Structure 1
Amino acid sequence: MPTSSRFVVVALLFISFSSYCQKKELLAQPTKYNITIDGKVSEDEWLQNPNTATDFVMYQPDNGKPINKDKQTDVKVLYNNDAIYISAILNDNEPSKIRREITNRDVFGVSDHFSVSINGFNDGQQDFRFYVSAAGVQMDCIATEGSEDFSWDAIWDSSVKITDTGWIVEMKIPYAALRFSGAPTQTWGLNFMREIKRDAQKYTWNYIDTKIGNEITQAGLLKGIENIKPPIRLFFIPYVSGYYQEDKLASDRTVKAGLDIKYGINDSFTLDAILVPDFGQTKFDNAILNLEPFEQRLDENRPFFTEGTNLFNIGNLFYSRRIGGAPSTYPSTATNEEVTNYPSSANLINAVKISGRTEKGLGIGFLNALTKRTFATILNTDTEESRKELIEPMANYNIIVLDQRFNQNSSVSFVNTNTTRNGSFRDANVAALVFDLSTKTNSYNLYGDFKYSTINDVVDYNGYKTSLNFAKTRGKYRYLLSGKYISENYDVNDLGIIFYTNYHNAYANGSYRILNPTKYFNTFKVEQELNLEIQNTTGKFQEAWYKTLFKATTKNNHYLEFSIVATPVETFDFYEPRVGGSYVQVPRRISSYFGVEFNANSPFTFDFTPSIVAYDQKNRITYGIAVGPKYRFNDKLSLSYILDYSNRKNDRGWVGFTSDDIIFGQRDREILQNDITGKYAINNKMTVNLTARYYWSYSENHNFLTLQQDGYLTPNTTYTLNKDRNFNSWNFDLAYSWWFAPGSEMSVLYRNYSLERGTTVEKNLNTNFKSAFNGNLTNILSISFRYFIDYNRVKNKF
C-alpha cells in the first residue's frame, strides 16, 4: 500500500475512534402541548423537530461496529412542564422477524427492545432506565455501576407500533419518575439502546467501550431543557383486598384496606409510606429441609422493601426480612408446659422511607419501620390452662445512609442501622464507612469498608469488620486482590444477615476476556481464583480453594459455563457443631459443574447443569443435576419446568447432644425440587400466571459419631435416638393481573399450599407426593384492587 494511502486509512480510523470517544449531544425541543402516546409520531412537534439522535454503534457482541443502514434508528426528544417525550423510529428491513413476546412487566423475554437511560445530574453515578419491548411491555430500573435494580417501578406511558419498515416507540416520562437539579438550564446524561433479539445484538447511541467497566460514565448529553416548572409530586395508592382461607380445621374471611403515599419533598427527594400494609399476595417462600447451622435466607417479595432500595443496600447491612420476621426470643417453659402456638413472624404496623440525591451528588436514605408485639401460647399439661408470653416486643427498625459521589465514578458512604426493642429485649446498632474509588479512566478501582457493631443484651458486646480491595477494571486482562478481617463478636443479624465471623481472608482473581467476537464465540471469559480463610482463634483453615471458571456464548447464542474448584488441604467447620469453641474436620475435596443453556431465543430451549463434589473420605460424594426445558408456544403462551436434584452419599452433620458429647450422623440425603411456571398474556396489560413448586427431601442416618476435641469424629455405638427426617412442601399459585390504568392494578390469586414433616424416611416419590396433599392443605382465594391517584390530575379536575 502506498504511503499516502496508509496515511489516509490511519487518519480515517483516528477520526472514527475520536468520534466514538466524544460525547454526543442531543437538543430537546420545547412543546406547549401534551403529546398523544399512540406510537404514530404524527404530531407536527415531532415532524418539525430537526434534532435527531442517530448513527447507533454496536455495544454487544461486536463492540464499536456501526449499525447497518437497513437498521437505522432515529430518536427525538420533546419536553414541557409535565414530562419529556421520546420518539424512536427503528427501521428493520425484515419487520416480520421482529421478536415481540408479551411478558409480565420487568420481564424481557424474547423481544426486541428500545430503552432510554437518563442521569438528571450528569454525574456518571446513577441512571434511570426505561425499556419498552416491541410487544409494548414496560421495564424500568435504577442502574448504578455494575447493577440494575428492576424492583424499582415508575409511572410512565409508552406505546409501540409495528410498521412495514420496522417499528416505532413513543414514550412519556413524567418528571416525577426522574431526579434532577432545580437549575434553570438542564444538562442530563443520556443514552439510547436498541436490542435486535434475533441477531443477539445491542446498539447504543453514544458509544460504550466494553474495555471500560463503567457504562454510566459513557453516556451522551441531553441539552435544551430550560425553565421547567415540574408539578408537585404527590401520589396516593389506596388499596382494598379480600381473602377467603380454609383448611381441614377451619375457614376464615378477611377484608383489608390501606394506603401507600409517595411525596416528592423536592426535585431530588421522595418520601414513601405504607399505612396498614397488606402483603397477602406476595410470592410464597421456598420452604426447605434445613439441616444447616444457619437460618434459611429468604428472598424479599414485599414491594415496599424491594422498590427503590438501592441506597439502603450500600454496605450489605440491610436484610429486609428482619422487619416483620421471626421473633427474637423463644419462651421459657416449665417441665409441665409446652408451646402450642409460636408465631413465625411479627406484624408490621407501618413503614416510611425517604431517599434521593442532591445536585452535588450526596445521596441520603432514611428508612423506619415499626412492628407489633408478638406473643406465644403456652399450655400447662397438668391443668390444661393456657397462658401468653411476650416473645417479641414492639420494635423499631431504622436505617440512615449518606452516600457522597464524586468524579463521576467514586463514592464514600456512611451507613447506620439500629434496632430498638421495648423493655429488656435485645437492642443493636451497626455503623459503617464504605468507600469506592476509581481512576479517571476507570482503569483501576480501590474499595473497602470498616464496620462496627454494638449489641445491648443480657451480656453486651462489640465487634468489627474491615476489608480492602484493589482491582484492575479495564481491558482484556483484569485482576482483583482482596483482604478482610472479621472479629468474633461482629454481629449485624438484627437488621442484616451474616453467618461466618472470627476469621481473616485473602482472595485473588485474575481474568481474561475477549472484547469482540471470534470465529467460534461471541463472548468468552476465563477466571482464576484463589481464596484462603483462616479462623482467628485457632489459626486453622476455614476455607482454602483454587478455582477455574470458563464462561462463553457461542455464535449460535448458546451459553456455556464450566467450573472446577479444588480444596487441596483439610479445612474445619466452626459452626456445624453448634457449640462455641468446637469445630469439625472437613476432608480435602474437589468439585465441578458444567452448565449449558441452548439459544434462549428459540421457541424451545433447554438448559442443564450436572455437578459433583468428591471428598477424600471413603464413599463420600455429592452429585446433582438441574434440568430446565422451556417452550414458547407463541408470543402469548409459554411454559417452563425446572428439575433440581442432588444426592449426598455418606454426608456428615450434627444431629444432637448427650450430657457430655456432640453427636454427628453419617447420613444419606436426597433433595428433589420441581418448579413449573406458566404464562398466558391476554395483552400487554393483562396476564395469567401459574407457579407451582413441589419439594421433597430426606435425611437417613446410618451411623452416629462423636466429635473429638481435635475436630475429628469417632464411632458412637450408644446413641439411639431417631434423627431421620422426611420433608414435603407444596405450593401452587394461579394469578390474574390487570393493569387497567397507569400504576393501577386488579389482581385475583388462588393459592394452595401444604407442608409435611416426619421422622420416618419414605423413599417412594409417589407416596411422598400424595402425603403433601393428604395433610392439612390450605386454600386461599384473594382479590385486590390498587388505584394510583395523581394529586395534580385531581386538582386540575376540581
Structure 2
Amino acid sequence: MDVDGRLDEAVWTQAPVIRDLLQEDPDEGAPGSERTEFRIAFDDNAIYIGAMLYDRFPVTGRLARRDAGQGDFDYITISLDSFHDHETVYQFAVNASGSFRDAVLGGGGGRGGGDISWDPVWDQATQVTEAGWSAEVRIPFSQLRFRPDNEQVWGIQLRRNILRNQERVAFPFVPTLDRGGASRFAHLEGIENIRSGQKFEFLPYLAARGEYLQLESPPGIGFANPYQSGSDYSGEVGLDLKYRLASNVTLDATVNPDFGQVEVDPSVINLTAFETRFQERRPFFVEGGDIFRIGEGGPAGSTGQTPQLFYSRRIGRRPSGRVPSNAVFSDVATATTILGAAKITGRVGGGWSLGLMGAVTSQEIGTYMDATQVVDQAVVEPRTNFLVGRLRRQFNGGLTRLGSFGTAVNRKLGGTDLGGRLHSAAYSGGVDFAHEWSNRTYRFSTMFTGSYVQGDPEVIARTQQSSTRYYQRPDADHLTLDANATSLGGYYAMVDLAKQAGAFGAKVAMAASSPGYEVNDMGFQSASDRLIVDTNFSYNHPDPGRIFRQWDVRGSPDAVWNYAGDRVWTEVNTSFNLQFLNYWSLGGGVRYNPSHDDDRLTRGGPMARTPRRLSGDVNVRSDSRRNTTGRLSYRWATESDDSWNRSVSFNVTLNPNDRWRIQLGPSYDRRHASAQYVTSVADVLADQTFGRRYIFGGLNQTTASLRTTVNVTFTPLLSLQLYVEPFVSTGNYRELKELERPGTYNFLEYGADIGTVSQDPGGSYDIDPDGSGPAASFNVSDRDFSYRSLIGNAVLRWEWRPGSTLFLVWQQSRVNALQGDGLRGTDPWIGGFDLSRDMGDMFSTPADNIFVIKVNYWLNP
C-alpha cells in the first residue's frame, strides 16, 4: 500500500468503518459535531489505519517537529494495547499538516502524555480536501510488542481533535470520571499469523565536536593553561542496538553513547542543603523507563515524594572527586564516560513483565598542574558498575499487581583516594503491591524497600551526617553517630488507599523512612527519619453549566514526624481550577503551615522551630485554541517572622504561521528571609547550643529569568529548535545572628543583642560573640552573591531517511558569578540587583561555544 493519505486503495472500500465516536469534550457523551470515519487493515508486516475527517469549515494544521504537543491543531490519535494487558499503550498521532507524535504510556494509558523519547519507525501521510482531511498510517509490527499467538486480540482507541470547537471525540468513549485507561479500549480482533519483522536494528553514529572555550589564569600565575588551547576538536563513534528476543521482549544496548543533542539543564540557585533534581532527557534511559518505576501512589507534594530507587542521571554524572586544592590548572571531565549500557524489557507469559538494565562507566583521571608547573594526576571517579532489575506480575485481568525491584552499584576504589567520598557498594531492593476494584474506582497499594551501603568508615560517617538524616544532631537521642561503622542500612514502607474515579476523590497515604535509609547512589532521596501522613480530597465537576465548562476543588491536610516523635511538618492546603465557557481558566490555592519543629534548619545542629507561614498562588490561562496563548501566575508567601516571597511569571506561546512557534517565559522573584542559614562555629562556651554557634543572616534575594524557545519546522522531518535562558540572581546578607537556644526560632543579633561585628575592607565579618567576654572571636566570609548566566542551544534535526537522523548542535554558555568575599573593595555592588547592569555584565562576559555534528543510520537487516 502506498501511504499517501488519499485512501484510494481498494482495501479501504472493503474494511469495516468505525463511525460511532462520541465527545469526551466539551459535551461529554454527545455525538461529534463533524462526521468521522476510521478504517483498519493489516498484512503480514504492518497494521494500517485510514481516517476520513469530514469538516464543514477549514481545518487547522500546523507544521511541528516530531513529538511536539498536539493541542493547537486538528489531529487524530491511535492508541494500541497490542499486548492486551491493559498496562502499556503505544500511541501514534498525526495532524492535518502531516506532523506526527509517538509515545509509550504506562500504567494503563490513562490521559497522560507518556514517554515521547520512544521513536519507532512508521509511516504517515495526510491530505486536505474540500470535504475535510484524510490520513493514512502504517505501523510495522516490528515496532510493537504483542503476544506470540496466531490469533491476536489487541486493545484500541481512536480519537479526533477539532481545534476550533475544543472538541475531542473518541471510540470507544470513556467518561472523564472513569478510571479505565486501556481496560476500556475496544477489542481489535482478526489479526492472524503476523510476523514481528527483523530481529535486529542497528543505529551506528558518527559525531564531531569543536569546543571554543575562554581561558583564564589565576592571579599571579605567569604561564598559560596547558590543557586548553581555546579551540579543541574531537570525534566520537558509537552504536545503539535493538534485538527482539521475542515479539514481546527486546534487548537494547548502547556502546559509547553520545547525548550531545540533549537539551541543557535550566539555571538554578540552590541555597538549601538538598540536591536539585533535574529531569532525565537522554533517550536511552528515558525510553522504556516506566518498567523501572516501583510503587503506585504514596505521599506527594510538600510532605516529601516517595524515594526514587532508580534515578538514571546517576549514570554518567559529573565526577565526584576533585583535584588537589594546590592545582592552578586542571583537565577534568565534566561527565563520566559511559562505556556501555544494555537493558532487557518486555512481557512474558502468565502476566509477567521484566526489566533489567546494566551500565559500566569508566575510571576518570584528572590531570593538573600546580604553581611550580609540576604535573600530576588524581582519580576523580572510579570505574563503576550499575545494575537495576524489575519483575512484575499482573493477576485478575490487570486489577492486581505484584512486583519486586533491586539495584546494585559497585565501585572499584582500590588505588584511589575516593574511599572517603564514595561507597564501595550500594544495594536496594523491595516489593510493591496494588489492587483495584469496583471498576477501578478504588485502589490499595503498598511497598516496602530496604537499602544497604558499605565503605570506609570515613564515607559511612559522611553518609550519617549528610543532609538526608543528620545523625550528628546533639539533641537527637534516637540517633547515634558511629564513626567506626563500615555499613549503613534502612527501610522505607508505604501504604496508600485511594478513591480514584468518580466526582469525589480521596486518598490517605502513610509512609515510614528509617534514619539509615539511603538510596542516593542509584536513586534520589531528600530525607529519611520520617513518618508521613498525607491525605487528599477532591471534587471534579466535568459538565458545562451557566458559567463554567468544568471545575474542580481539592484539599489536603498533611503531617510529618521524625522517629523521635517530633512533628517536623504540618500543612493544610486547598486549591481550585475553573474553566469558563470561553475556554479561559482560573486556578489557584492557599496553604497554611502552623509553627512546628524543624530538625534541618541548623543543618546538623539542635532542633529549632519554624514560624507560621501562609502562602498561595493564582494563575490565569487563555483559550488554547488561539494562535497566541498565555498563562500568568503569581505566587506569594508570608511568615510570622516577617519573611516573605513574591513571584510572578508569564508564559506566552506565539504561532505567527503554521511553521513558527515562539515560547517566552519571563519570571521575576523577590524573597526576604529573616533567618537564612550561613554556617556554624565551634565554641565550648556556647553551652546553650551544645558547644557550637549556629549563624544565620537576613537575606534579600532577587531572581529574574527569561526562558525562550523558538521552533521552526520546515517539514515534518526537518526542524530547528533554539533555546536560550538569560538568568540573574543576586543575594544580600545582613544582620548576622545566632540561634539563642534549641527548640526555638529565637535569634541574638551580633552588634545589637550580643557582642560586636565589623566588616573588613574585603567584605568578611569579624565577630566577637560576647564583646569583652571570654568567648573567642571568629570570622564569617561575605556571602553576598551576584550570579549572571546565559545558556542556550540550537538543534537542527533532519530525519533524512526512516529511523536515521542528522543533528547540528550549537551550545553556548556565559557565566559571570561573583561572591562578595574578597571582592567587596573592588565591586561594592555585589549582592545588589540592577537588571540593566546585570544583563549588561552577562552579555559582555566572553562565551564558551560548543559545536556538534552527529549523524546516525538506521539498519534493519
What's the TM-score, normalizing by structure 1?
Answer: 0.90
Q: Which residue of 1 aligns with 2:51?
A: 88
- Indicate the larger mover: 113-122 or 165-174: 113-122
Change (3 A) 1:182 1:158: same
Following superposition, which runs of at least 4 residues in structure 1 exceed 6 angstroms of deviation? Answer: 336-339
Amino acid at match of 1:85: Y
Amino acid at match of 1:82: N
Deviations 1:349-380 (A, max 9, x none): 11111111124321100111111112345655
Deviations 1:533-582 (A, max 9, x none): 11223x32222011111012222111221110011x21344334332x53
- Counterpart of 1:160 (choices 122, 126, 129) is 126
- Listed as ranges, the matches of 1:172-183 within 5 Å are 172-183=138-149
Check whether the contact 2:63–2:98 (CA below 8 A) recurs between aligned residues.
Answer: no
Deviations 1:643-680 (A, max 9, x none): 11111123432222323323222110111111111122
- Listed as ranges, the matches of 1:147-296 within 5 Å are 147=112, 148-249=114-215, 250-296=230-276
- Counterpart of 2:408 (choices 403, 406, 418) is 418
Give the Cα separation in 2 of the matches to 1:745 and 1:516: 45
Q: Which residue of 2 aligns with 1:574?
A: 599
Deviations 1:427-466 (A, max 9, x none): 1001021122101511110012101000112220101011
- Listed as ranges, the matches of 1:371-382 within 5 Å are 371-377=361-367
Q: Which residue of 2 aligns with 1:398?
A: 387
In the alignment, structure 1 residue 327 sits paired with structure 2 residue 319? yes
Give the Cα separation in 1 of the matches to 2:401 and 2:102: 24
Unmatched tracts of structure 1, length 5 or more: 1-34, 792-798
Aligned-residue sequence identity (percent) comes to 25
In the alignment, structure 1 residue 110 sits paired with structure 2 residue 87? no
Give the Cα separation in 1 of the matches to 2:148 and 2:612: 61
In the alignment, structure 1 residue 697 sits paired with structure 2 residue 697? no
Check whether the contact 2:63–2:716 (CA below 8 A) recurs between aligned residues.
Answer: no
- Listed as ranges, the matches of 1:556-575 within 5 Å are 556-567=582-593, 569-575=594-600
* 1:171 Cα deviation from its structure 2 partner: 0.6
Give the Cα separation in 1 of the matches to 2:703 and 2:214: 28
Give the Cα separation in 2 of the matches to 1:327 and 1:180: 41
Unmatched tracts of structure 2, length 5 or more: 216-229, 296-307, 457-485, 683-691, 751-756, 758-766, 768-778, 820-829
In the alignment, structure 1 residue 733 sits paired with structure 2 residue 796? no
Give the Cα separation in 2 of the matches to 1:287 and 1:212: 40
Give the Cα separation in 1 of the matches to 2:194 and 2:368: 63
Check whether the contact 1:552–1:559 (CA below 8 A) recurs between aligned residues.
Answer: yes
Change (3 A) 1:343 1:369: same
Change (3 A) 1:782 1:638: same
Q: Which residue of 2 aligns with 1:549?
A: 575
Give the Cα separation in 1 of the matches to 2:399 and 2:543: 25
Q: Which residue of 2 aligns with 1:757?
A: 817
Change (3 A) 1:747 1:327: closer
Change (3 A) 1:331 1:540: farther
Deviations 1:216-250 (A, max 9, x none): 11100101011223322311111112122112331
Amino acid at match of 1:747: F
In the alignment, structure 1 residue 477 sits paired with structure 2 residue 504? yes
Give the Cα separation in 2 of the matches to 1:188 and 1:524: 35
- Counterpart of 2:697 (choices 642, 656, 665) is 665
SS in 2 for 1:766: helix
Check whether the contact 1:117–1:190 (CA below 8 A) recurs between aligned residues.
Answer: yes
Check whether the contact 2:384–2:409 (CA below 8 A) recurs between aligned residues.
Answer: yes
Deviations 1:614-648 (A, max 9, x none): 10113x21111011222210111122211111111
SS in 2 for 1:304: helix
Give the Cα separation in 2 of the matches to 1:320 and 1:576: 30
Q: Which residue of 1 aligns with 2:676?
A: 653
- Indicate the larger mover: 644-653 or 131-140: 644-653
Amino acid at match of 2:275: E
In the alignment, structure 1 residue 637 sits paired with structure 2 residue 660? yes
Give the Cα separation in 2 of the matches to 1:532 and 1:641: 38
SS in 2 for 1:314: coil
Give the Cα separation in 2 of the matches to 1:533 and 1:339: 47
Q: How many residues align?
A: 746
Q: Which residue of 1 aligns with 2:26?
A: 61
Check whether the contact 1:101–1:110 (CA below 8 A) recurs between aligned residues.
Answer: no
Give the Cα separation in 1 of the matches to 2:328 and 2:597: 37
- Listed as ranges, the matches of 1:291-440 within 5 Å are 291-315=271-295, 316-330=308-322, 340=330, 343-377=333-367, 383-406=372-395, 407-423=397-413, 425=419, 426=423, 427-440=425-438
Give the Cα separation in 1 of the matches to 2:453 and 2:8: 64
Change (3 A) 1:262 1:637: same
* 1:180 Cα deviation from its structure 2 partner: 0.8
SS in 2 for 1:186: strand
Check whether the contact 2:597–2:743 (CA below 8 A) recurs between aligned residues.
Answer: no
SS in 2 for 1:210: coil
* 1:385 Cα deviation from its structure 2 partner: 2.4
* 1:329 Cα deviation from its structure 2 partner: 4.4
Give the Cα separation in 2 of the matches to 1:373 and 1:603: 51
Give the Cα separation in 1 of the matches to 2:647 and 2:548: 28
In the alignment, structure 1 residue 709 sits paired with structure 2 residue 725? no
Deviations 1:584-614 (A, max 9, x none): 4221010000011111221122211011001
In the alignment, structure 1 residue 43 sits paired with structure 2 residue 9? yes
Change (3 A) 1:379 1:541: farther
Amino acid at match of 1:641: L
Q: Which residue of 1 aligns with 2:447?
A: 449
Amino acid at match of 1:116: I
Give the Cα separation in 1 of the matches to 2:629 and 2:163: 15
Check whether the contact 1:293–1:576 (CA below 8 A) recurs between aligned residues.
Answer: no
What is the RMSD computed on CA atoms of the aligned residues? Answer: 1.9
Q: Which residue of 1 aligns with 2:88?
A: 126
SS in 2 for 1:661: strand
Give the Cα separation in 2 of the matches to 1:388 and 1:573: 43
Check whether the contact 1:101–1:634 (CA below 8 A) recurs between aligned residues.
Answer: no
* 1:776 Cα deviation from its structure 2 partner: 4.1
* 1:281 Cα deviation from its structure 2 partner: 2.0
Give the Cα separation in 1 of the matches to 2:330 and 2:596: 41
In the alignment, structure 1 residue 467 sits paired with structure 2 residue 494? yes
In the alignment, structure 1 residue 685 sits paired with structure 2 residue 717? yes
* 1:75 Cα deviation from its structure 2 partner: 1.2
* 1:99 Cα deviation from its structure 2 partner: 4.1
Amino acid at match of 2:615: S
Q: Which residue of 2 aligns with 1:15?
A: none
Check whether the contact 1:101–1:111 (CA below 8 A) recurs between aligned residues.
Answer: no
Amino acid at match of 2:801: A
SS in 2 for 1:789: coil
Deviations 1:260-313 (A, max 9, x none): 111111111111111121112211122322211012212212111111211112
Check whether the contact 2:63–2:714 (CA below 8 A) recurs between aligned residues.
Answer: no
Give the Cα separation in 2 of the matches to 1:276 and 1:314: 28
SS in 2 for 1:667: strand
Give the Cα separation in 2 of the matches to 1:778 and 1:598: 38
SS in 2 for 1:357: strand
In the alignment, structure 1 residue 144 sits paired with structure 2 residue 106? yes
Give the Cα separation in 1 of the matches to 2:257 and 2:400: 37
